[in-house]
Homo-oligomer: A and B are copies of this chain.
Amino acid sequence: MRDGKSHRMEDVAVEAKVSLATVSRVFSQPDLVSEETRQRVHEAAARLRYLPNLMAGSMAGKRSRIVGALVPAIASPIFSETISGLSSVLREARYELMLSQSGYDPEQELSILQAFLGRRVDAIVVAGAVITPPSRELLLNAGTPVVETWELIAEPIDMAVGFSNPDAAAASARFLIDRGYRRLGFIGGTDRRSMQRLEGFGTAVSEAGLAAPQVISIKSPAPSSFMEGGAAMERMLRQDQKVDAVFCTNDLLAAGALFECQRRGLAVPGDVAVMGFSNLDISEVTVPALTTVQVGAREIGSHAAQMILDRIEGQGARPVPLDTGFSIIERQST
Contacts and interface: CB of A to CB of B under 8 A. Distances in A.
A219 interface: no
Contacts of A263: 287
Interface stretch (A15-23, A95-103, A205-213, A235-243): A95-103
Interface stretch (A78-86, A190-198, A269-277, A322-330): A78-86
Chain A contact residues: helix, strand, loop or mixed: helix
Most buried by B among A51, A74, A91, A256: A74
Interface string A50-92: 0111111011000010100000011101001101100110010
Nearest to A141: B49
Given A80-B80, A99-B87, A282 B285 contact: no
A224 interface: yes
A115 interface: yes
Contact of A80 (B54, B75, B226): B75
Contacts of A285: 224, 226-227, 230, 255-256, 259
A132 interface: no
A74 B64 contact: no
A143 interface: yes
Interface string A105-116: 000000010111
Interface stretch (A117-125, A178-186, A311-319): A117-125
A142 interface: yes
Contacts of A100: 87, 91, 96-97
Most buried by B among A87, A141, A142, A281: A281
A286 interface: yes
A133 interface: no
A142 B50 CA distance: 10
A51 B114 contact: yes
A120 B6 CA distance: 10
Given A81-B75, A281-B227, A115 B96 contact: yes
Nearest to A68: B96
A74 B87 contact: yes
Given A55-B55, A74-B84, A91-B100, A282 B284 contact: no
A226 B49 CA distance: 43
Q: Top 7 A-B pairs ranked by shortest CB distance?
A: A262-B287, A74-B84, A226-B285, A75-B84, A54-B118, A75-B80, A99-B99
Given A77-B77, A91-B100, A224-B285, 9 more contacts: A6-B143, A51-B114, A74-B87, A75-B83, A87-B99, A87-B100, A226-B282, A226-B285, A259-B286
